[in-house]
Structure 1
């Protein structure tokens, strides 16, 4: 999968994750894209542990896997930074 595909899948996954889990999360479009790209790595790893195909290219399955990983990352962020407030 090329870098442009990673960026597009990351952006879509990050946006979907923030749509599913609205709240006060850091960053704009760049951070959202990075969360989605990292989510693709996390989701792909977890799905491959279960015997499935991880992120396989620019397709619906890859976007769903990346979104799952991004949701997990957002949940972890909220669990770790939950008590801290920005001033």
Structure 2
């Protein structure tokens, strides 16, 4: 992977993670770096899932359906990570 590919993955991950946090109701107690990490993983998994579902992922423009799948996967990821981190923090403060 080239440096441009790495930077692009980080930017897309940040956007997908941020969109997931906007869509997910309530407050998520996770930091921006974890949001970006979840977004990067979700973007990769979302692309693979979109391809498996038959959604075209290599088009000349913006792949809106692929982006939708990525955001849905990211919402699930942010909810899981936020729930796990929130539970861990609440156990420590008791």
Deviation at 1:28, TM superposition (A): 1.4
TM-score (normalizing by structure 2): 0.66
Q: Counterparts of 2:80 and 2:57 in 1: how far apart (Å)?
A: 21
Per-residue Cα deviation, 1:31-76 (whole angstroms, up to 9, x for no partner): 11111101112211211111113487xx463543432220122344
Matched, 1:6 2:6: no
C-alpha distance 60-29 of structure 1, shift in aligned 2 (>3 A): farther
Deviation at 1:25, TM superposition (A): 3.0
Q: Which has the larger radius of gyration?
A: 2
TM-score (normalizing by structure 1): 0.70
Q: Between Structure 1 and Structure 2, which shows a larger proportion of helix residues?
A: 2
> Corresponding residue for 1:74?
78
C-alpha distance 67-30 of structure 1, shift in aligned 2 (>3 A): same
The counterpart of 2:34, out of the listed 8, 11, 31, is: 31
> Corresponding residue for 2:52?
49
Aligned length: 86
